[in-house]
Every structure is written in C-alpha cells, then in structure tokens.
Amino acid sequence: MPQKVVLAYSGGLDTSVAIQWLKDQGYSVIACCLDVGEGKDLDFVKSKAIQVGAEKSVVIDAKKEFAAEYALVALQSHALYEGKYPLVSALSRPLIAKKLVEVAEQEGAVAVAHGCTGKGNDQVRFEVSIKALNPDLQVLAPVREWGWSREEEIDYAAKNNIPIPIDLDNPFSIDQNLWGRSNECGVLEDPWAAPPEAAYDLTNGLENTPDKPDYIEIEFENGTPVKLNDQYLSLEEIIEQLNKVAGKHGVGRIDHIENRLIGIKSREVYECPAAITLIKAHKELEDLTLVKEVAHFKPVIEQKLCEVIYNGLWFSPLTKALQGFLAETQKNVAGTVRVKLFKGHAIVEGRKSPYSLYNEKLATYTTEDAFNHQSSVGFIELWGLPTAVHSAVHQKGKVNV
Amino acid sequence: MPQKVVLAYSGGLDTSVAIQWLKDQGYSVIACCLDVGEGKDLDFVKSKAIQVGAEKSVVIDAKKEFAAEYALVALQSHALYEGKYPLVSALSRPLIAKKLVEVAEQEGAVAVAHGCTGKGNDQVRFEVSIKALNPDLQVLAPVREWGWSREEEIDYAAKNNIPIPIDLDNPFSIDQNLWGRSNECGVLEDPWAAPPEAAYDLTNGLENTPDKPDYIEIEFENGTPVKLNDQYLSLEEIIEQLNKVAGKHGVGRIDHIENRLIGIKSREVYECPAAITLIKAHKELEDLTLVKEVAHFKPVIEQKLCEVIYNGLWFSPLTKALQGFLAETQKNVAGTVRVKLFKGHAIVEGRKSPYSLYNEKLATYTTEDAFNHQSSVGFIELWGLPTAVHSAVHQKGKVNV
Amino acid sequence: MPQKVVLAYSGGLDTSVAIQWLKDQGYSVIACCLDVGEGKDLDFVKSKAIQVGAEKSVVIDAKKEFAAEYALVALQSHALYEGKYPLVSALSRPLIAKKLVEVAEQEGAVAVAHGCTGKGNDQVRFEVSIKALNPDLQVLAPVREWGWSREEEIDYAAKNNIPIPIDLDNPFSIDQNLWGRSNECGVLEDPWAAPPEAAYDLTNGLENTPDKPDYIEIEFENGTPVKLNDQYLSLEEIIEQLNKVAGKHGVGRIDHIENRLIGIKSREVYECPAAITLIKAHKELEDLTLVKEVAHFKPVIEQKLCEVIYNGLWFSPLTKALQGFLAETQKNVAGTVRVKLFKGHAIVEGRKSPYSLYNEKLATYTTEDAFNHQSSVGFIELWGLPTAVHSAVHQKGKVNV
Amino acid sequence: MPQKVVLAYSGGLDTSVAIQWLKDQGYSVIACCLDVGEGKDLDFVKSKAIQVGAEKSVVIDAKKEFAAEYALVALQSHALYEGKYPLVSALSRPLIAKKLVEVAEQEGAVAVAHGCTGKGNDQVRFEVSIKALNPDLQVLAPVREWGWSREEEIDYAAKNNIPIPIDLDNPFSIDQNLWGRSNECGVLEDPWAAPPEAAYDLTNGLENTPDKPDYIEIEFENGTPVKLNDQYLSLEEIIEQLNKVAGKHGVGRIDHIENRLIGIKSREVYECPAAITLIKAHKELEDLTLVKEVAHFKPVIEQKLCEVIYNGLWFSPLTKALQGFLAETQKNVAGTVRVKLFKGHAIVEGRKSPYSLYNEKLATYTTEDAFNHQSSVGFIELWGLPTAVHSAVHQKGKVNV
C-alpha cells in the first residue's frame, strides 16, 4: 500500500501538477485546502483535487481561528515588517502547517507537502512549522524539487490531463487571506515602475474612491475589536466588513522593497484595508491607555515578534514568551475609536476609554491646571545633571557644579 | 551697571511681558529672536522688543543651519516620536539655546531666559542645552516663575504699556519652523473631538486638495536631498518648496496623544508636509540601498536618537555617538525617488540608485533567475534546527533528529 | 486627635530622630520595621521605637515574601544593574513600601514616612511605590526635609533624649537584606582607593578563604531553586545557606562606580554571595535549556526589568508585562547545577536537565555525528548573500552573483 | 597549467591532507599560514607545507594588525558572546580571510580553501568574509567535502606520505590566538563533567596559582591600552604580557554551553587571561568616564557588534556602522586602572581619569555636599507621575491627582 502524503492544495497549476508528481513518486495524495479568507470557490477546489488525482480531498474553514489566534496577535503587536508589511502570508503559514500536520496525523500520512519554490519565505515558514509540530513527518517541496521551467511544467500537465488555467499568462503571483493580499512578479520587478492598477483587487485607486467619507466606530475590549458601529461582531466578521468599507476608500495599499529571510530583496505589493485600519485604531487607543514606560518599550517587543513571525518561527518558544508580554499590556486597552475613512486614509479622529490615562486637568493650559509647575525645576536639574557634569569636565578640566 | 540677560524673544505676549519682568528683577535685557523658518515678520519682532523695554534686540537667521544640522539628522533617522511626531520643536530648541549662549557670551551676559511654562518639554530642552553649552550661565524661566493667570498677566501688561495682541483669544498655542508646525490647547484637549480646520495652517484639508496629483522627483546624495525635480537646491529650499506643494495636497497632518517627558499625556496636532514627504522618500531609498542587517538594526538607533532629542539631550555625548552610527549608514544612500502627492498622501511610486542592492536576477521568477533554489534546503534545516530540537525534546522526552 | 503617620523604622539614629521630629509636626507615629533578612535584633528595634516616642511599633517578617516574589524575579532575570549590581536595596524598597501602605490603611494613617536623604535612589523607590499603591497617602521624608548637618542632628537627639549610637563614627552607610549588603561613603568616595576589609561583612577576603573548595548542587524547577545538596528547602532558606557557604569562600564582592537615577555617579561596595552564586547557576541551566532565539532575546528583557526596578518603577505596569515574558521562559528551566565554591569563585562545573537541548549526537565530532554537514553549504550561501551582493555592487558597480 | 588555490594552512593533519586532496582535484596549492599569536613554530609549519606537496608556502605575521584592528574592537565593545565567550576565533577568521584573499589576488589564484568542517561557525566566517572581499574567488572546503572518517583520513595520509602527528589521539580540538585559546570535544561533550586540567594550557588551575597577588596598572588613551605598569607598549605586547601574568594567576577560564550560528548547542572551554583582564579594566574606566546615557545604551551596540562578529559578518556594512558609534564613545576613555591579579580574579581596585565624571562633591555624604537635595522632590513627582496616574485611574475609576 502506498504511503500517504498530505499536500497543501490551492487549486492552481503548481499544486495540481504536484498531485500527479507525488503519485509518480509512489505516494497516495491527500489534498488539503485551507480557507483563511482568500475568497475562493472551495467546492471547485475540493473536487478539482480529486479530478487531478488526489486520493482524498479535504477543505477546512480556518477563518475564525486565523482571525482570533493569528491576525489578533499581529494587530495587537502592530506588526509591520520593516515598517510596512502587515505579515499577511507570514501569519497564515503556521496555521496551515498546523492543519496539515493534524490531517497527516489523523490519516497516518508519513509526509506533508507544500507548493513553494526555493526562494520565497513561505517554504521556511511551512517547513520549520511542520518540523516543530511533528518532527517525525517528512516535508516535501515538489515545486522546489522538480525545478522545471514554466514550459516543462505545462508539458507535464498536458501529458497528465491536468487542466491548464485560462489565466496562465497572469503576470502576478497572489496570496490572500483575511489580513490582506500580497502580489509580486511581472512589471513589479522594476522598482522604478509604479504598480499598475491591475495589481490591486481589494482596494479602489485614489482616483476612484468616493468623495464622501465613511465614519466608523470600533470598540475594543482587552485589546480586541469587539464591536463595529455599535454592533457586536466576531473578529473575523469585523475584518471582513472593514476590508470592504476601507477597501472602497482605497485604504491599505503598500508597495514594499523587502528583505527576505533567504537573503534577497524583492518588491511586493500588498493590500490590507482592514489590517491597516485596525492597527491605526488600536495604536491610538494604546496611546490613550498605556502608561508611558509600557508605550515606549512595547515597540521592542513588537519588532521582535514581527521578525520572528516573518522568519517562520511562529512555533518557537520565543513567540510564546513575547506573547506573554503582549497579553499583559492589552488588559486595559479598552474603549472606542472613531475613524474617518476617506481618500486612502483611515484617520483616527477621536478616541475614548474608561481607562484613559489622559487627564485634562494635568494637560490643560487653563485655570483648571492641576500640574505642579515648580516640580519641573528639580526634575530638569537632575535630568540634565549627567550632561552638565560632562560639559563642566570637558570644557574646564574640572567639575564645577 | 545692571547685569545682562539674553531672552529668547518671540514677539508674543509672554516674552514681551518677560522683558519688563526681567527689568523689574534688575536685569538689562537683550532680546534675541531666532528665525528657524516660522515665517514671522522679523523686523516687527525686532523693533517690538525695543518698544517693550529691551536694551538691545537681535534677530538671527538660522534657517540654513537648522536645515543642515538639525532637520537633516531627523530626516536620516526617520525620527517620529512614538511613531508619529517628527520632532518639530524638539529640533529647534537646542539650536536656539546654542545661539542664545553665543549671544550671551558675546554680550557678557550672566543669564539666559526663555518663555516656557513649567509643564512642557521645551523648558527641559532649553535648560539642559544651555547648561551643556555653558554651565556658568544662569537660566531664568520668567513665565514658569511668575505663575500668573492669564488675567494677571494682562493686568501687568496693561500697567506696563505692553501691547495686548488682538488675537488674544486665539485658543491655540503654536510653534513653527521649517520642519513643521505644532499646535496644542483649546478644543484639542478633548481626545474624542476631531481637530477643527482652524487648527491647521500649512495644509489643505482633504476635502480641499486638488483633484490632480503632483509628481515630484527628489534626488539624494549621502542620504541628503540635493535636487528637487532636477534642480540643485539647498536643503532649506527643498524643505520650503515641499512644505508648499505637499501642504497643498494635504500631506503631513498628525493628531497625537503624546507622552511628555515630564510625565503627562497631552494632545498635539502637527503639520509637517515636507518632513513627512522627505522621510517617506528617504526610507524608500534606504530600502533599496541598505544591506538587510543595517536596515534591521538602524531602527534601534533611530528610536534612541529620537527619544534623546525629544527629551532635550541633543548636547549629550550620546547624540554624537548615535550620529556616528547614522553617518556610516548614509554613505551609499544615493539615488532618485519619485513621489506622487495626492489627497494627503506622499506615495513613493518609484526609486532607483546607482547603489541599488535590489537585483532583478536574484528576485525574478522568470527564466533569468540566478538564485540557487537548492541552497534553501540546507538553510531551512539549520535555521529551524533550534526549534526542531526543542520540539523533539519536549514532545518526546528525547532528541530525535 | 493627631493624625497618624507610618514610619519605616530601622532603629538607627536618623529614623529615631525622625520619630521625634514627626511628633513635633503634630503626628502620632507608628514605627514599622520590616525584616527582609538584614539580621537585626528585631525585639530591640521594636522596643526602641517606643522608647524614642512612637505611639505604636510593628515588626513584620517579610523574608519569605521577599525571597519568593522579589529576589526570585531578580534571579530569573539575572538582574545586574550596569552589569554589576544585583539590585539589593532596589528589590526591598517596593516590598517595604507595600507593607507600610498596608499598615497605614489598617491604622487609618494619613501619611507614610521614610528616612532617606535627597540624593539616593531609595527615596524615589519609596515614593513612587507608595503613590502607586495608594495615591491618597501623603509621603513624608523627614531627613530630606530637615536638612540638618550631622552635628545639628546629634544636638537635636541629645535634647530629646534619643540615644546616640556608639558606632556613630562608623564611616559606612549600610543596607542589607537576603539578597545582599550594600555599603557606601567614607573612604569609598575615592574611586582610586581600594575598599578596606572593614567595608565587608558577609564575605571573607580572598586571603582568608579556605584552601579546600566546597561543592554544592542546586536543583531548579520552573526556574526556581528548590533543592540544595539534595534537600528540599524554601528559597529563603537556600539564600540564607548560600550566603553563609559562598560568603565563607569570598564569593560575591562587588565594587561599583554607579550611575544613580538622580543623575550622579556614586561608588558602592556590595556583597552578594547567594545572589551571585544563584545567578551563575541559573544562567548555566538556561544555557542548556533555552532555545537559541529565547536565549538571545531574553537579555533585552533582563536589562529593561533591571532598569525599571533600579529606577523605582516596580509597581509600573511595565514590570508586570516584562514578568509576563519572563514567566514563559522559565517553564522548562529545570535541572541540577553543580557549583564549586572556591577562592571567591562560584564555578559551574556541571549542569544537567531533563529538558536539555544540548544534543551530543549533533554536537559531537565523533562517528556518532548526526548533523548534516552539507546543509551548511546552502545555509552559508544564503546567510552571506546580503553581504555578497553589497560587495559586488560596491566593488564593481554591478551585481555579479 | 593548473589553476592555483590558496589554502589556510595550520600544519596539522587536516590541512596537510587537504594539500594533497586539492592537488588530486588538479590545483596547484599555495599554503598560507597566518600568525595571529598562536605561538606555533612557524618555520616548521612553512617547510612542512612544501614537504606535503604545496607549490609555495607563505607565512604572514599578522599579530600587530590582529591586536590593533580586531582585538581592540572586541575590547572596546566588551564583546562576550552570550555573556561569556570573548570571540577568540571569531575575531581571527575575518583577518585570515583578508590575508588569504590578498595572497590569492597577488598569486592569481582562482580559489581559496579552508580546513573547516561542516558544523562549526568558522566555515561561515571564512566563506562570508571571502565572498565579501572578492566575490569572484571560489571557496573550497576540502574537509567538509571529503566527509571522511578519522580512519579514512589516516589511510589517505599514509598512502600519500603525509606524516601522522604523534598526538593524534589528543582528544581536544584547539584554536589559539592573542585574544585567547578555545578548546572543544572529547570529554567536554558531556555538560555534567568538569573540564579536566589537561584541557587548559594558558592558565594555572586555582589550586596552583601563587599565594601572592600581582598588582598591575594599565593606562588607556582613547579607549586603547597604551601603558602597562608605566611602560609604553604596543597593544600586541600588552596582550602578550597580560596573557602570561594573568594566566599565572588563573584568570580567564571559561566553560560555555554555546549556541552556534548553525543551530546546535556545543560545549566549549576558553582561556583568555589578557582579554578578561583588559575588558574588566576598560569597563571600569568607562564607568568613570562615560555619561550615564551613553553607558546605558552602549550595551545594545556591544551586544549587536558581538553577534555580528560571531556570526561571520565582520565585513558587513553593519560592523562599520556599529564601529562608528563605538569610536565616538572612546574619545574620553582615558586614565589608569589598577588591577589585582589573584586566585583567578582580575579585581579592579582603583581607577582614575582626567575626564572622570565622578564628582566627590556631588556624591559625598559629608558637609562638602554640593548636590541640591530639594531638586529630588520635583524629580520624583514627575518621574513617578505616569505610574501614579495609572494607579489612580485603575483603583478608582477616575484620575485623582
């Protein structure tokens, strides 16, 4: 009896060919398609897997888990790799790996396979995650292994009755989930060229956005969005609705020359209407509710967490430890943020919180002022003392305080 | 003969009253007005100082020095305090302090005075800077010291024939220089309220921006903007032109709940059209020209430098050491960035450089691909090895590689 | 009826005088002496407080709480301020503040008082902690307020029948608890002078240590020492025993030119036999059990936590968040460490753990080697790729991979 | 005519066999032996290379360059990887690579070869450095490539008349230079076992150290040791002398469970008498001369620089940028440090500097006190304000300042 392999199946040409190629190697293939919000026709994908040779085809709706356990971490840590990229694919890979391993264990498979090439980040994320979750499973990377040109792949597909997609000359390479959409290749490879409108799908171009803003209110509890415009919704639903309304206003286009883990620079275009809107809103609520020391140190944690996730180490113990810090900071991030969506902007116009640390009586310049101005005299003297001593020593050769 | 004090003079009510108040204390007052690009009528300010009682009145044009030695550091370090505030006033204070000390030394003054209250950051920046530059000079802070209410101050002014400004009920407190404009107080003290249009001066509201974009090209050498649209200009001129054109498109409005050094949260509104445009363009050129390791560590330096400047420690030796790092990174930040100014956005659409580290042959997914995909197999194995060993130990009680 | 104040009472001259001084201000004084392991005669201290005028005298044994909730955090975070000082007093101050506040709330006091001068760190730690725990309580600092010279203080004491200690000319100023002993002043104020033997109390000088080592074994669970030489003990007991045996061998002397929070450099001498021994042992167990990524990032948390505690912010939410990270890392820090105590050294000679990530089969150079040497080829190629591309661009003007 | 390869030659079995093996591949071999202070018989090594088949044999004395440009950076950055390892081999590899590339360019060689296996850090350091310096040179790693067992290697040596070293059963694998000596393998592979005395060579065991201390004085200028005991010496000479005298007292033994770049933990034993003595002395002088802000941020730079060097990225632009920071900090690190060498300790007993920022008048508790104690009141109030506001909000539901 052939050994089983669980393949991360997308319905596209590469993974369809991979089914046949894995069969050539003697495996029985279980195709597994994860729905993390890419908006595909899952029935079609499911049956296509069987059609091109899979022994079994599984579709798993992981949208809720993706929102609650992956996207939420990215939101609360304001994760923007290199200040720009909201970790779209980097977030879904560990979840997909987890589901593949679960299926492999249920089915008694000996291996898990993914369709990544040898020069992206996703191969790292899949393989490190799978090894972390079950070191006994083999990992196969058919596309990286066969090393075919496009023409050779099409030849092989034709010979094996694998349908060739009609949009084969689509110049873009897309990945999408609830947290956004990434796009690379084609004309984008020239960093001097502007991305063409065809590169975008979730957002209107600025020229085509409405001339009237939308105003939304997002309510947070424990750092988690719980209400949109006064309606309790799951995070998954909030993200979906925001992708629509913020996308309509052109929010969340990102054009990024990016340093991949595997050592090269690539040019990527992202669209993340909900992610950008939520990160902005959440940051503003933190500005109101986090004490200064936490606000100033949290970015160190954020940057590390972002790097760890980008680099495929979601299942490293470091991720958990960083989340230990993060969780503590979110306990009082509660309140409401009012956002104006307009012309590509998600502008936070107002924020309020039962735990607001902003104190008008301390901040005001009116007669209500409760701040002790004389305290500043002593503060400044001691704050500047090291600099003053240094200046005295170096200008005069002696301390002259 | 009375002892001399050099007062940082703005022409406004507070510092006009301070001249008289200092005279009451027995000083002879030298008013000193620095032009760092706030666009004031300097002749008026100069003669007003004499009119309200100064012995001498000095106006110093420090715009070029401000651009070249202060704003440039903020630009190259992408300085945004708490991710938002481009350090407008924080940058000018050390320069103003330096000029005040220079005048004080020339004039044989025993003290320097500033018009700050006791609860802002600027008092710290002035006092620490002055002490650093000349520890023998006394620092006076008349406004903080007298502690008058608005009414008491106006009474005193009236009694002393100090003109009361006609816009005395202006609810805002403004500071401005080449790098931007800051605004606090009044209605802004409620963080739930949106800033009114009247709070802004350098930028059009989104509703009033042109419906056609402007495209500009900025050329950098050694990390410094040297050309705008193919014309060689000084940095001061580039900033001035960008403030106009980017301001016209509504670029650079910032609404910030901010943690002040002296321990309170305040709400500030900033407008920085040129600063935001230049920081975005410069960052994109770095994305193209900095090697990954530098790109990933530079933010640590940036954050520290920003914090040090915000906190009034420009003349601390730490600032110089951080600049030592910064200068090394800028040597190859050269090239051209194309920016689309439109609807409040400064969108970098293209970037090119003679030192570009982006290599299409490595990045491409076409047949031109020069990247060795098989190298990834070994890379991933070793990259994930700590995680794999950890999983093996913790799931199975033994290492099973 | 007079208002009550709770005074942190040590039994020394300063706080004895403070009792009377507070009575002069109209307060009824409740003396409160905390035992955090300084080895004082507590009965004597308790009755002396009454003798010099306190209304009530309370002694609280807080050793167990100090060990389990304060020293343990310092141990697990290897807290050494500026790489040297194990936070002795910095750790006890927040606990003492907490107990003072508890007593104040029980007794209905309106204020809490401490005996610190105006130039140490401890005043900050006390006052910030007290304000954090009960912002309604006033904080009094009699010694800082009265500003007397030594002679004036003695005069006052004499007039008020406060006994003058016989060791009044003791040139040192000591603070001590389970985690160590600090000493400042006197001859130590000259940084070129070696500390005299008289400055030390817990440790033998190297010249007087035994010529035979002691070998001890410390067992940890969850990052916490639980056994010493195969005997289950509380952390408090382990620290006490280690202070003796490691002190006998001269372990833990520290001579530190230190930057205080309040802006000056001071010279301090510390003795921390148990602390240094435990930190070394714990670090070695982490070297064995923490995955590389955690081991390399934990120092960032450690440094911040140490700084926060040193700076008096134990009750800041930042401390809790940092502990959230710390706690996650300690879950698998379990095992046994063998330490040789000899001639001032605590040398870790062996370490073992059920969760050891050290894998002889991967590490060995024998034929047992399970490491795939060929994986290194791909790893090195990608690891060095950014540097190689940079060199190619800058040496040749073009990428030549 | 055969193509030339430059081989890093040590005189040991591996690189002797590599000469023949490279000849088998058709190369003409130029053996190149670098002297970075390992104390070898270089004449013997030079002639042995020819004897075992090299076309040409070169010996380069690089000790001065190693001390001045590599060890000095490690000293000034207090480089201790994972808090323990002073970067012995990690420092010499880039210098050796540089010399190999220089010879290769002079000789018209097409390749450079090193004798590292596939699981150490040194292969990475060599290969990344060589690629950085001359991307056109090939890098060969014969030992990694041939993959022989010890027996197979000896067989090959015997067949090719390559002398088998008499200490072939030496269980240790050693690398040594001015900055120290590293040792791995054999009994050391068990982390519970204490390293045997035979593992050490530069240092006396504590049991065998003199019973009288040596006192030395080290003078620094610009952060660089320039005098030892009042005698001007080159850094190379200072290191050599300190290795002897500090080694005699047993200073600098290190036993380290270490995380290698290539993903495994290994156990290493180091001896670095001079390095540890100099780092301690230098740190103490910095404690006296660096302003607090620099002292507190420099460790971030130190840790990164150490990591970058350990990881083989000496020739990355990041190293230069970090050195830009470092150089600025060293300008005033001047003065004299008195060190007591005794029983494995390098104890700094005194330090003095013309640029000392330690000010007895500020630090003292005597009547000389120049510090304004009242300034602390204001300082503490503002320092603790965020914590106080946070407590007020969270305990009472409202701000109550």
List, for residues D377-390, the tens digit of each pLDDT value.
889 888 888 888 88
pLDDT in tens, C128-137: 999 999 989 9
- Is D334 within any annotated ligand binding site? no
Residues A253 and A368 in one domain: no
D206 with D112, same domain: the answer is no
Here the CATH number for the domain that contains residue B338 is 3.90.1260.10
Q: Are D131 and C388 inside 8 Å of each other by CB? A: yes
* Angle, helix B292-310 to helix D317-330, in steps of 10 degrees: 30
Query: B113 with B217, same domain?
Result: no
Q: Is the pLDDT of residue D325 over 70?
A: yes
Residue B357, domain member (yes or no): no
C325–A291: do the CB atoms touch at under 8 Å? Answer: no
Contact A385 C323 (CB under 8 A): no
Res. C188 pLDDT band, cuts 50 70 90: confident
Please give the residue that has the higher pLDDT: either B168 or D15: D15
Given C104, C134, C168, the domain boundary residue is C168
C-beta atoms of D255 and C349 within 8 A: yes
Listed in sequence order, the residues at least 6 apart from C179 whose beta carbon sits closer than 8 Å to its beta carbon are C37, C66, C70, C71, C74, C86, C87, C88, C91, C92, C239, C272, C274, C275
Tell whether D228 and D344 lie within a shared domain.
Answer: yes
Q: Residue-wise over A326-352: b if at least 16 C-beta within 10 A, else e?
A: bbbbbbbbbbbbbbbbbbbbbbbbbbb
This prediction has a pTM of 0.96
Query: Is the predicted pLDDT of residue C89 greater than 70, yes or no?
Result: yes
C378 vs B contacts (CB less than 8 Å):
372, 374-379
- Is residue D121 in a domain? yes
The verdict on residue D80 lying in a domain is no
Going by pLDDT thresholds of 50, 70 and 90, the confidence category of residue A173 is confident
CA D380, distance to chain mean position in Å, is 43
Cα Rg of chain C, angstroms = 25
Judge if B14 and B65 occupy the same domain. Answer: yes
Contact criterion met (CB below 8 Å) for D125 and D117? no
Residue A401 confidence class, pLDDT cut points 50, 70, 90: very low
| pLDDT at site C401 | 37
Q: Which residues of D230-241 are buried (b: 16+ CB within 10 A; e: fewer)?
A: eeeeebbbbbbb
- At C34 the pLDDT is 95
Q: What ipTM was assigned to the predicted interfaces of this complex?
A: 0.95
Least confident of A388-392, D285-289, D295-299: A388-392
pLDDT at C4 over 60: yes
Q: List subunits contacting chain B, requiring 3 or more Cβ pairs under 8 Å.
A: A, C, D
How much is the pLDDT for B368?
A: 64
Rounded to 10 deg, the angle between the B292-310 and B88-107 helix axes is 60
Residue C150: the pLDDT is 85
Lowest mean pLDDT: which of A15-24, A162-171, C18-27, C290-299?
A162-171
Residue D366: pLDDT band by 50, 70, 90 thresholds? low
CA nearest to C396 within chain B: B355
Is residue C396's pLDDT more than 70? no
Beta carbons of B332 and C362 less than 8 Å apart: no
Which of D230, D9, D13 is closest to D103 using CA atoms? D9
Residue A367 has pLDDT above 70, yes or no: no
Is the pLDDT confidence value at B85 over 60?
yes
Give the pLDDT score at B170.
75
Confidence (pLDDT) at D367: 63
CATH number at residue C137: 3.40.50.620
- What does the pLDDT read at residue B367? 63
Burial of C401 (0-12, 13-18, 19+ CB in 10 A): middle
Least confident among A97-111, A365-379, C222-236: A365-379
Cβ-based neighbour number of residue B188 at 10 Å = 22
Residue D339 and residue D390 in one domain: no
Over the stretch C309-333, which tens digit does the pLDDT of each residue have?
Answer: 999 999 999 999 999 999 999 999 9
- 3-state SS record for chain B: CCCEEEEECCCCHHHHHHHHHHHHCCCEEEEEEEECCCCCCHHHHHHHHHHCCCCEEEEEECHHHHHHHHHHHHHHCCCCECCCECCHHHHHHHHHHHHHHHHHHHHCCCEEECCCCCCCCHHHHHHHHHHHHCCCCEEECHHHHHCCCHHHHHHHHHHCCCCCCCCCCCCCEEEEECCEEEEECHHHHCCCCCCCHHHCCCCCCHHHCCCCCEEEEEEEECCEEEEECCEECCHHHHHHHHHHHHHHCCCCEEEEEEECCCCCEEEEEEECHHHHHHHHHHHHHHHHHCCHHHHHHHHHHHHHHHHHHHCCCCCCHHHHHHHHHHHHHHCCCCEEEEEEEECCEEEEEEEECCCCCCCHHHHCCCCCCCCCCCHHHHHHHHHCHHHHHHHHHHHHCCCCC
In a domain, A138, yes or no: yes
Report pLDDT for A397: 40
- pLDDT over 90, % of chain A: 82
Q: How far is CA D363 from CA A378, B238, C116, C266, D366, in A?
A: 17, 50, 15, 5, 9
Q: How confident is the model at residue D178 (pLDDT cuts 50, 70, 90)?
A: very high
Q: Does the beta-carbon distance from B389 to C362 stay under 8 Å? A: yes
Percent pLDDT > 70 in chain A is: 97
Q: Give a three-class secondary structure readout of B339-373.
A: EEEECCEEEEEEEECCCCCCCHHHHCCCCCCCCCC
Residues of B that are catalytic? 14, 93, 122, 173
| Residue B173 labelled as part of a binding site | yes
pLDDT at A344: 98
What is the predicted pLDDT for the residue at D400?
36
User: By residue range, what is the domain housing residue B377?
Assistant: 364-396
Same domain membership, residue B159 and residue B10: yes
Three-state DSSP class for residue D358:
coil
Across the A/D interface, how many CB contacts are shorter than 8 Å?
86
Which residue on chain A is closest to C388 by alpha carbon? A263
Summarised one tens digit per residue, pLDDT across range C333-343 is: 999 999 999 99
For A122-150, what is each residue's pLDDT tens digit? 999 999 999 999 989 999 999 999 989 88
Q: What is the DSSP letter of D304?
A: H
Instruction: Check the annotation: does D125 bind a ligand.
Output: yes
Picking from C168, C197, C214, the residue at the C-terminal end of a domain is C168
Same domain for A12 and A153, yes or no, is yes
pLDDT at D368: 64
Domain end, chosen from A134, A154, A169, is at A169
Q: How confident is the model at residue C366 (pLDDT cuts 50, 70, 90)?
A: low
What is the tally of structural domains in chain D?
Answer: 3
What does the pLDDT read at residue A207? Answer: 97
Are D252 and D143 found together in one domain?
A: no
CA B14 to chain centroid: 24
What mean pLDDT is reported for chain C?
93
Least CB–CB distance from C304: residue in A297, A313, A383: A297
Residue of B nearest to A213 (CA): B207
Give the strands of the sheet with C265-271, arranged side by side. C173-177, C180-184, C265-271, C253-259
Chain C residue numbers touching B401 (CB-CB < 8 A)? 359, 361-362, 370
Same domain, C13 and C143: yes
Whether the per-residue pLDDT at A369 is higher than 80: the answer is no
Q: Is residue B160 part of a domain?
A: yes
pLDDT at A399: 42
| Mean pLDDT estimate for chain A | 93
Q: Is the pLDDT of residue D401 over 50?
A: no
Question: What SS3 class is residue D251?
Answer: coil
D342, D202: one domain: yes
pLDDT level of residue A91 (50, 70, 90 thresholds): very high
Residues of C in contact with D194 (CB under 8 A): 338, 340, 349-350
Which chain A residues are Cβ-neighbours of D389 within 8 angstroms? 291, 357, 359, 362
Query: Which helix or strand (DSSP H or E) is residue D173 part of?
Result: strand D173-177
One domain, residues A15 and A39: yes
Residue numbers in C near A304 (CB within 8 A) = 297, 300
User: Chains near A, with 3+ CB pairs < 8 A?
Assistant: B, C, D
Residue-wise pLDDT for C29-83, tens only, equals 999 999 999 888 899 999 999 999 999 999 999 999 999 999 999 999 999 999 9
Domain-embedded: residue B58: yes
Convert the pLDDT of each residue in D390-400 to its tens digit: 888 887 544 43
Q: Which two tokens stand for residue A232?
A: 């309790």
Q: What was the pLDDT predicted at B5?
A: 98
Highest mean pLDDT of the ranges B184-188, B261-265, C95-99 = C95-99
The answer to whether residue B397 scores a pLDDT higher than 60 is no
Q: Which chains touch C (3 or more CB pairs under 8 A)?
A: A, B, D
Residues C106-117 have a mean pLDDT of 96
In a domain, D200, yes or no: yes
How confident is the model at residue A366, as a pLDDT?
61
How far apart, in whole angstroms, are the C-alpha atoms of residue A287 and residue B135?
Answer: 36
Task: Give the pLDDT mean for B23-51.
Answer: 95
Query: Mean pLDDT, to the nearest integer, of B249-267?
Result: 95
Q: Do B386 and D263 touch (CB under 8 A)?
A: yes
Residue of D nearest to C210 (CA): D207
**How far away is chain D from the Cα of C196, in angstroms, using its nearest Cα?**
10
A190 pLDDT tier (thresholds 50, 70, 90): very high
In a domain, B338, yes or no: yes
